Amino acid sequence: MKVSVPSDHDVYLFHEGNLFHSYKMMGAHIAEKDGQKGVRFSVWAPHAKRVSVVGDFNHWNGNNHPMKRVEQSGIWNLFIPNLQDGEIYKYEIHTPNGEILLKADPYAFYSELRPNTASVVCSLEGYKWNDSKWFTKKKKKDSYHQPMLIYEVHLGSWKKKANGSFYTYRELADELVNYVKDLGYTHIEILPILEHPYDRSWGYQVTGYYSVTSRYGTPQDFMYFVDKCHEKEIGVILDWVPAHFCKDEHGLGKFDGTPLYEPTDERMAERVNWGTYSFDYSKPEVVNFLISNALFWMDVYHVDGLRVDAVSSMIYLNHEANHQFDVKNQFGGFENLEAIEFIKKINKAVFSQYPDALMIAEESTAWPNVSAPVDAGGLGFNYKWNMGWMNDMLRYMEIDTSQRSSHQNLVTFSFLYTFSENYILPLSHDEVVHSKRSLLNKYPGDYWRKFANLRALYGFMIAHPGKKLLFMGGEFGQYDEWKDFTELDWMLLDYDMHKKMFDYVKELNHLYKETRSLWRLDHEPEGLEWINADDQSQNVLNFMRKGKRKGDYCIIVCNFSADVYHDYRIGVPSQGFYEELFNSDAERFGGSGQLNQMKIKVEKEPYHNQPYSASIKVPPFGVTILRKVTRVPRNV
């Protein structure tokens, strides 16, 4: 990393909100001045009366190392000779009201292990990356026309050691990465690992945006983790939180004694539901801080993308306010105009430097064109979580099977808008906590029906247009909801049905990756054709997923009832024979074994607006995938 000594031009760009690599100027950097090695410190605190660097090296005495203010810029600088890697420090800030605050460095590259809160001088140099092949390959293939299976993971509770301690980044680089690769996932999405004080915030309340959390090791250890992911051809997505930050006294809140990173209007600053502060997107320096941070994780740690948390709460002024107040913008609307401009600006900045990056919005409203480019009138993300699909499907699957026939619109509605955005279908951590129950335990019925319903959900998810995401534990049917303070219930793999669920997810994932028609046209209407969406009485629907090449398609039949249909007729587009490519009801998956074992002969009988039709067996709570046989089988 080439560190820049603050120049007049850098300072100008910083205050314009256009110094997109401000982390090279701000914070603590090992440097040399007049032939002497030491550390250069820079911090933005425009309202402070005085700022000093304090730490063990000066017995935390602010009189020893006062910083110099750069004229009217609000930036304070100081070079301290003879300091080196590993020094612990904070900024002692004298506020306009006469208070003395001890603040962690907003741009610190590393932090003390909680409950300690100081920043740590840390060089990010020296790691030798081995992922050039990964980036070369990534540039050749755009993500829209490739398979994408995301494994969402909380590093602190995926697995724990016998004594209850965390696995390190390096240990996870072997255990977790190999596990995910074997299951067939293409990406790992990590719940926030930006430094945070409270374990049970899961990283969503941040104090150190540039500090990879010290819970699991050092910055170089995390680089090793990412490098190993890329070696196994697995992309890395970080959950990123630019909507709000926690109020801990050493953090960003009222940093120089005044609202600095947060708005001055308390109604806009307070996130009452979360006990946090919002960022003030009207301040160029704050915009600069966040854009630089997004690029930092790609520049320094080689991450492949960011899942941007709580976008709805950014773009709407009163989102999550619960009618406590009614803030409007200058035109009388409820949109946060500054936040919207920030979102557009950050997406443009990221894609200008990383065209193949993933910028994924967790946006839960009907805001249009979230995943459209900025110059086309969009917010500029390239993917959006399909929260509507997730909510509708989970609601539907929780309905007793005897009542599902009157609710099939919950299953089919998402198809009406599925091509309006580039969607990712999420079954995320948010759906298996806070007494919502695990995916397996949401479903009605006995033990067998719970597993059958879960297999049906996963099969339908794989067949539905859009990329896929599953939270850890879902792959083997975690029975209890996510317990973030313990590891997953790995002992369940010793039980037959849970092991069969694991095998099911693994085989389904690999089938998905090998079947181009299931992902090649995920975001284009040509990739989907309905056969029958109207069989509510039997809880069955069937459709085709299509690839780019002529004849590249598969037929999906989904049955969300407990009944077996032995002679169920479906329309098909061509004559000849079909075969069953996949059946979620196979006995090896824990199903009842209602399979189509023989080749399926097509009849010259138009049906479902198709020129031909065939009669098949439809399993209970089952998803069946059929494909055309290219060679006519003998003895049929």
Q: Which of 239, 362, 522, 580 is catalytic?
A: 362
Phi, then psi, of 450 in degrees rounded to 5: -60, -50
pLDDT reported for residue 281:
97
Q: What is the pTM of this model?
A: 0.96
For the chain, residues classed under CATH 2.60.40.1180 are: 525-628
Question: What is the percent of the chain with per-residue pLDDT over 70, rounded to a whole number?
Answer: 97
pLDDT reported for residue 59:
97
Phi, then psi, of 155 in degrees rounded to 5: -60, -30
Which residues of the chain are modeled with pLDDT < 70?
1-5, 320-325, 632-636
CATH top-level class for 525-628? mainly beta
C-alpha–C-alpha distance, residues 130 and 228, integer Å = 9
Cis-peptide, bond into residue 115, ω within 30° of zero = yes
End-to-end distance of the chain based on CA atoms, in angstroms?
68
Instruction: Return all residues near 446 (Cβ < 8 A) that are at least 6 apart.
Output: none
pLDDT reported for residue 72:
79
pLDDT reported for residue 376:
96
* Annotation says 309 is catalytic: yes
C-alpha–C-alpha distance, residues 631 and 612, integer Å = 18
Instruction: Return all residues near 260 (Cβ < 8 A) that are at least 6 apart.
Output: 44, 45, 46, 47, 252, 254, 283
Q: How far is CA 169 from CA 159, 241, 296, in A?
A: 12, 21, 19
Residue recorded with tokens 């401000």:
22
Phi, then psi, of 177 in degrees rounded to 5: -65, -45
Give tens-digit pLDDT for 168-182: 999 999 999 999 999
CATH topology of domain 8-120: Immunoglobulin-like (2.60.40)
C-alpha–C-alpha distance, residues 559 and 541, integer Å = 7
Q: How far is CA 337 from CA 246, 258, 333, in A?
A: 23, 23, 9
* β pairing state of 383-385 and 423-427: parallel
Q: Which of 262, 285, 309, 338 is catalytic?
A: 309
Residues comprising the chain, all counted: 636
Q: CB-based burial of residue 173 (10 Å sphere; 0-12 exposed, 13-18 middle, 19+ buried)?
A: buried
Which 3 state secondary structure label does DSSP give 206?
coil
pLDDT reported for residue 636:
54
* β pairing state of 358-361 and 383-385: parallel
pLDDT reported for residue 578:
98
Amino acid symbol at 273: N
DSSP code of residue 160 = B
Which 3 state secondary structure label does DSSP give 199?
helix
For the chain, residues classed under CATH 2.60.40.10 are: 8-120
C-alpha–C-alpha distance, residues 321 and 109, integer Å = 33
* Annotation says 362 is catalytic: yes
| Token reading at 8 | 């007049």
* β pairing state of 235-240 and 305-308: parallel
Rounded (10°) CA dihedral 525, 383, 151, 126: 140
